Amino acid sequence: MLNLTEHPGNMTSNRGLIVALKICVVTPMICVFLYFIALMLHTLASHRQFWESPRYLLFGYMLINDALLMVCSVLLFLFFLAELRLSISLCVPLLIVSTTTFLNTPLILATMSLERYVAIFYPLHRPSAWRADRIWAVVLPSLLLSFILPTADFGMGRQYPGTSAFTTLVHCKTSALNSSRLQVLVKVSLYGFLFMAVALVILFTYVRILLEARKVRRDRASSVGKALRTVLLHGLQLLLCLMAFMQPMTEHAIVLPVRWLREQMSFLSYYFFALLPRFLSPLIYGLRDEILMAHMRRAVLCCSTKVIPGATGKL
């Protein structure tokens, strides 16, 4: 009679092959992503015209935020594959940075949409907080809000007797540090409210700019149309963020009897709902800007493209 029981050595070798394939899929993506992020940040930092525009400053802020998010996410993913345990003192800061940057992304999108709104409706008398030299007054509150939520969440986590922050080793994931159902429910509700508020802000700015586009003069129609497309792109980016927000829910929704299938479906969910949207969002937004792309081509390919310093891109 044929023995259908798989040998443990074969199972180990198969798992090692699958882990290697996952690393080979994820590693090139993060390398390409970080290369373009570094190139765009270098371009923004190397030209004064970008420093004098609040929308480019916000874009650079978004690039740094998404780079930190991707690095933390991939590190946590590699720790999970390697079944590596970390001390609580190392795991909690990593999770806080990951969650803070995750929550900060939609807030940045809302801020950038409002900046386009201010640029269209107050072109000559821009409020002081929305000027390039004071944009930090708008950025700082959103960053503090994104930082306070995960810090309070982990601070109010369940305390286990006999655990030490420096000697106790745990799998570095949120459920290992905070498994309270009440806190999970509160956290999901807060995240849902946050995304809903950002969606309303983007929808408000889009409708107002759309109404403005119907009654502006021809000399302003081009700038208003660009702002309209930019806000619409922010809506697309918010949908990509929502895909990442839905990734844990899709994992819990997958009920498969075989552990091997659950692990692979969990990886596919992480790849398509968490990694891929984060990879596409800043690249689509940055590579469509003509002025930024012209400077990037000159930096990479040493092209002789002439860039007008006072020109306005399509960002």
The domain segmentation of the chain, as residue ranges, is 16-153+166-300
Q: What is the pLDDT of residues 63-101, one digit of tens each?
A: 999 999 999 999 998 888 888 888 888 888 899 999 899
From CA 184, how far away is CA 31, in angstroms rounded?
33
Give the chain's end-to-end CA distance (angstroms, integer).
Answer: 68
Structure confidence by residue, pLDDT tens digits, 270-298: 888 778 888 887 777 777 788 888 888 88
Does 45 score more than 50 pLDDT? Answer: yes
pTM of the full structure: 0.83
92: nearest Cα among 172, 179, 191, 157? 172
DSSP state of 129: G
Three-state DSSP state, 85 = strand
Class level of CATH domain 16-153+166-300: mainly alpha
- The answer to whether the beta carbons of residues 198 and 238 sit under 8 Å apart is yes
